[in-house]
Amino acid sequence: MRRLEVAPNQIRWISDELATEEPLELRLVAGNEHRTIAVTLRTPGNDFELAAGFLFGEGVIQRRSEIKRIAYCVEEGQEQRYNIVSVELRSQALPRLPTLERHFFTTSACGLCGKASIESLSARGLSPVSGDSTVSAKVLRELPEKLRKAQQLFDLTGGLHAAALFDLEGNLIALREDIGRHNAMDKLVGWALLEGKLPLAPCIVVVSGRASFELVQKALAAGIPIFASVSAPSNLAVDLAASFGMTLAGFLRGERFNVYAHPERILLV
């Protein structure tokens, strides 16, 4: 598109790239049953990972083998719809879970409405992260810049969030971008699920925005022991990380950062 740039002593028309935002409807199919379970506004791309990561993070599925097929919707007499993704399960009936008792609507701003409490996550079967994974403070400080340099779509648009997975030495494993923070995390977790890489026990996840309850929950479901963000965490995110043994760092900028839960995994000297 073209936009008018207004600056001191200069006004000009220039070409620009904008982040794409389109709705995606997620449908769940099992046997003869089907149901729409979410509508999200996302950046097109890695849609199957987004669907798988969403279902896994919400506890609808527990493992990759429960998914029979993921496909864009094709209805009789109509062209394929790239804004509708159907996930077919191997079971003969839809799971009877609280997350399927209402119609979700998610946006790039708020994530899922009506999130479960910390207590209900324990009841769902999520376990505290374990293991003796550690990362040096030096490596942790370098991760935001590595994330930023790997954001190809951000370079074009300046308007996308990212979630990136690193090993304990600071090497980039995978990165996903989206206009929504929660979608970026779902795409990352969905990639790991579909590739058979869960749990992500010896890894670090870094997000480009703040650390919300929803993002920490999704990382927890994937078994990630260390969560870092370039901005602030919410109080509920801190409580969740503390309750489930996850190391949570925030305001990761330059030489400084804060640790809000389980600092024992960060080697400070």
Angle ∠(63,161,237) on CA atoms, nearest 5 = 65
What is the pTM for the complete model shown? 0.85
Q: Please give the torsion angle defined by the CA atoms of residues 59, 60, 61 and 66, in that order, rounded to the nearest 10 degrees.
A: 170
Rg (CA), the chain: 19
Write the pLDDT tens digit of every residue in 22-59: 889 999 999 999 888 888 889 899 999 999 999 999 88
Question: What is the mean predicted confidence (pLDDT) over 121-147?
Answer: 89
Query: Is 203 an annotated catalytic residue?
Result: no
Give the pLDDT score at 123.
Answer: 75
20 vs 5: CA distance, rounded Å: 20
Strand partners, 2: 15
Give the pLDDT score at 110.
Answer: 41
Write the pLDDT tens digit of every residue in 84-123: 999 999 999 988 766 544 445 454 444 443 344 677 777 7
Question: Are the C-beta atoms of residues 256 and 233 closer than 8 Å to each other?
Answer: no
